Amino acid sequence: MDEEKEEIENQKAQVLSRFRNLRSRSSSSSSTTSINANSIGDPVPHSPRKLSNPGRPLTILTEEQQETIRFHVHSLLAERIYPTVAKVLIRIRTTNADFPVQSSTTLWRWMRKIGFQYQRTSKVKVPLDTLTFMAARARYFASLDELRSTGTNIFWYDETWANQNEEKRFVWTDGMTGKGRMRDTQNKGRHAKIALIIDNATWHNQLTEETIPPKRAWRKELIIQWLINHNIPVPVKATKAELLVLAFENLPPKQYVVDEVASEYGVEILR
C-alpha cells in the first residue's frame, strides 16, 4: 500500500515538472516572438549619410593664380588706393574673365589663406589717406617749401611734427650767457620772416566774429540780422529753413582769430 502511494506521488511530481517546463518554453518563445515583431514593425531610424563636400566644389588655385591676387593687391597699394575685396575682384575679372574666383566670398577666403590680413588702420605700417587729406597735405608742404625758400624762421608749436634731421641738433651759443646768435641787435638787417606752424586744436580754429556762420538753433530774427550784416538780400515771408539755406550758400571765407592776431606782428600762420 505504501509503495503504491509513493509511486503515485512520483508520477504527480513528474507531471508537474513537465508542465512547468512547457510554460517556461512557451513564455520564452512568446517573448522572442514579440521582440522580433517589434523589431520588424518599428524600424530604428538612421541619420542620412553626410556628403564629404556638399554644395559647390572647392575652388583650387595654382601658385600662378595666387600670385595674380597678390599682384593686384600690391598694385592698388602702389597707386595709394585702399585695397578692398570688391576692387581686387573687379581688377582680376577685368584682366582675366575666366579666373577661377568669381565671388567676393571666395576671394576673401583666398586673400586670408595667402597671407593678407584685414585689420584696423592703427596697426597698418603704411596707412593710406583719403583724397581730401592728401590734397590738404599737398597744400601744406607747398606752403612750407615756399616759406623755406624765402628764408622764413619756422617755429613748430604744440602737436605738429618735424621730419628727421630737419632741425639742427647743435647751434652756436654764447659761452658766458648761454644765449645764441639768433638776434644781432648791433648789426640787424631787414626784418626776418617768421612762420608759426600750429595744429588743429579747437582754440586755434576759433573764427572771427564776421565769419562765424549762423547756427540752426538761432531764432529767425538773429538769422535775418546775420544776412543783413553780410549784405545779403532777405526775401519777404521766408521761413527759417529758407533763411538758413540762403545763409549757408553765402558763407564768407573762414578767418581765424589766431591768424588775425599773428598778422599784426608780421607772423604767418600755417596749419
141 shares a domain with 114: no
Residues 113 and 153 placed together within one structural domain of the fold: no
CA pair distance 178, 171, nearest whole angstrom: 11
166 sits in which H/E element: none
148 and 240 together in one domain: yes
Confirm whether 91 is domain-assigned. Answer: yes
Q: In terms of Cα–Cα distance, which of 141, 158, 160 is closest to 149?
A: 141
The three three-digit cell numbers of residue 154, written as one number = 619756422
pLDDT in tens, the chain (271 residues): 555 656 666 666 665 666 566 555 555 555 444 444 444 455 566 665 655 555 567 788 888 888 888 888 888 777 777 788 888 899 888 888 888 888 888 888 888 888 887 765 554 455 555 566 667 777 777 787 887 787 777 766 655 544 444 444 443 333 344 443 344 444 445 555 677 777 777 777 788 888 888 888 889 899 899 998 888 898 888 888 888 889 888 888 888 888 887 787 777 777 7
pTM for the whole thing?
0.35
Cβ neighbours of residue 72 under 8 Å, at least 6 residues apart?
83, 88, 91, 92
Last residue of a domain, one of 71, 97, 123: 123
Rounded alpha-carbon distances, angstroms, from residue 243 to 156, 233, 235, 251 = 42, 10, 8, 12
Please indicate, yes or no, whether residues 103 and 216 belong to a single structural domain of this protein: no
DSSP lists the bridge partners of residue 155 as 196
Task: Supply angle C-alpha 128, 198, 137, rounded to 5.
Answer: 30
- Please tell me whether residues 112 and 137 are part of one structural domain: no
Does residue 180 fall inside a structural domain? no
> Are 205 and 264 in a shared domain?
yes
Contacts of 240 (CB under 8 A, 6+ apart): 220, 223
Structural domain boundaries, residue 94: 63-123
Q: How many domains does the chain have?
A: 2
79 and 146 in one domain?
A: no
Domain identity same for 112 and 205: no
Same domain membership, residue 158 and residue 106: no
Whether residue 113 is contained in a domain is answered as: yes
